[in-house]
Amino acid sequence: MNLTIENILLVGSLLLLVSIFAGKTSYKFGVPTLLLFLTIGMLAGSEGIGGIQFDDPKLAQFIGIVSLNFILFSGGLDTNWASVKPILRQGIALSTLGVLLTAVSLGTFVYYITDFTIYESLLLGSIVSSTDAAAVFSVLRSKSIALKYNLRPTLELESGSNDPMAYVLTIAFLTLVINQDQSFVSIIPMFLQQMLLGAISGLAFGYLSKYIINTIKLDFEGLYPVLVITLMFITFSATDFIGGNGFLAIYICAVYLGNQNIIHKKTILKMFDGLAWLMQIVLFLTLGLLVFPSEITPYIGIGLLISVFLILVARPVGVFLSLIFFRMKLRRRFYISWVGLRGAVPIVFATYPLLAGIDRAHMIFNIVFFISVTSVLIQGTTLSLVAKWLHVALPIKAKKLTATDLLLAENPKAEMQEIIITPDCSAVDKKIVELGFPKNAIIAMIIRGDSYITPNGATKIEEDDTLVVLADRFAVFDEVHKALRS
């Protein structure tokens, strides 16, 4: 079947519907949801029962980049700075040095067991060097996994922030493959430029985005998520335009915004959570359509060998060496090593050699696809089991909710208090978003004269208002009164 303007919506919506239903039942059988999305795409492809003809790496790459924008931004918004701050150095070490060591060790192995040149080998190692944010977020945030010792924020921070490093390494070694006369030293300035400009741009656009969101007055609440999507794409494209790493920029921007008081934050978080799931499904379906199973078959042997080395040697080497200066129990290091899920990101990065037209591009793409599938299949299905073996699993009843989880939950709070705003309160004539309100308390209603107002972040507090405040425990009201200075 050839995709046309007339049938693309029908085919696309049917594939989405099947993916959603399949995802609902997948964990009952221990199969990661994202792997099912990929399988459905393959079954719908030219060599599957669907017979859809799709062989456009450029379009697949475009869809991949757009999808990664949403996935990384959503992951950043949901990152709690309070939980990430204690493990920030470990996360950065894993997402930079850990990725580099994984790429080099795997590339060296590939060089000795294949006829690849050293740069081609390191290119393959770089493509699969990072853990996949979509895969890690979806698996770790399932209800079946809760972890001790700040392992969850460590793994989520690593997976959300290590794609930029893998991207830079991929582009760097691809450049060396194309330009054989260049030396390894020549890529160092590009690496520094990408990472530094990406980090600076992420913070700058984070500050700017917060100011725009809280200052501009839109007539409809539904326009605020649209505004944030626009700011997200501006952050990525503007950073990329000046030579920085757009993936790093949008992740840092999102982490900053997710830990600030912004107008209609709850609506924005919910919208991005849904969009991230949509993008994950679309991305995996697209990559499933792009692959030809018959082309993968000749590389199963070498692909399995490389995949086993990556899981059992290269990933642990990257983790253990990058964390060598941190105090951490051995079983925690082993578990971090095991959560080295590869998913859609390496497959998206593998389209860069295809578009560059290098000699072994198709071979690299098919090997990367096989590595991603085996990683999700082997590691993704055993995360809970390995967590129990290593005694890092937390009983489900003891799992703690983050502040974001509390905001997103619709459950009623445990405590309620009415607070009258007197003329001497510093909150008078201030927007709610400007109050610095505690994250685990909300203003559910404002009683103003005979009116009952459902507030949002842009609502101004007026003299003689009565605020109906809900909190998860009574002690939080001390922070509420400090914020209001009442």
Residue 467 bridge partners (DSSP)? 419, 446
Q: How many angstroms separate the CA atoms of 322 and 155, rounded? A: 14
pLDDT of residue 413: 43
pLDDT of residue 319: 94
pLDDT of residue 457: 77
The alpha carbon of residue 275 and the mean position of all alpha carbons in its chain are separated, in whole angstroms, by: 12
pTM value > 0.85? no
pLDDT of residue 9: 73
pLDDT of residue 3: 58
pLDDT of residue 132: 75
In the block, residue with structure tokens 């990525």: 236
- Which one-letter amino acid corresponds to residue 436? G
pLDDT of residue 99: 94
Grouping H, G, I as helix, E, B as strand and the rest as coil, residue 357 is coil
pLDDT of residue 46: 74
Q: How many angstroms separate the CA atoms of 247 and 236, rounded? A: 7
pLDDT of residue 256: 93
Q: How many angstroms separate the CA atoms of 308 and 299, rounded? A: 14
pLDDT of residue 408: 41
CA nearest 312: which of 343, 345, 334?
334
| Length, in residues, of the chain | 486
Per-residue pLDDT of the chain (486 residues; tens, 9 = 90+): 555 666 677 777 777 787 777 666 555 544 566 677 778 888 887 777 777 777 788 888 999 899 999 988 988 898 888 778 888 899 899 999 999 999 999 999 999 999 999 999 999 999 999 887 666 766 665 545 566 667 878 887 888 788 889 999 999 999 999 987 777 787 888 888 998 999 999 999 999 999 999 888 888 888 999 999 999 999 999 999 999 999 999 999 999 999 888 888 888 988 998 898 888 888 888 888 888 888 888 989 999 999 999 999 999 999 999 999 888 888 889 999 998 888 778 888 999 999 988 888 999 999 998 998 888 888 877 877 888 888 887 655 444 544 444 444 444 445 778 888 888 888 888 888 888 887 778 888 888 887 888 887 778 888 888 888 888 777 788 888 888 875
pLDDT of residue 36: 77
Domains for the chain: give ranges and CATH numbers: 8-398 (1.20.1530.20), 412-484 (3.30.70.1450)
Q: How many angstroms separate the CA atoms of 69 and 279, rounded? A: 9
pLDDT of residue 69: 92
Instruction: Give 275's contacts (C-beta < 8 A, 6+ positions apart).
Output: 70, 74, 229
Q: What is the DSSP string of 27-57?
A: GGGT--HHHHHHHHHHHHBTTSSS-BB---H
Segment holding 282, helix H or strand E: helix 265-290
Tokens of 10: 């029908």
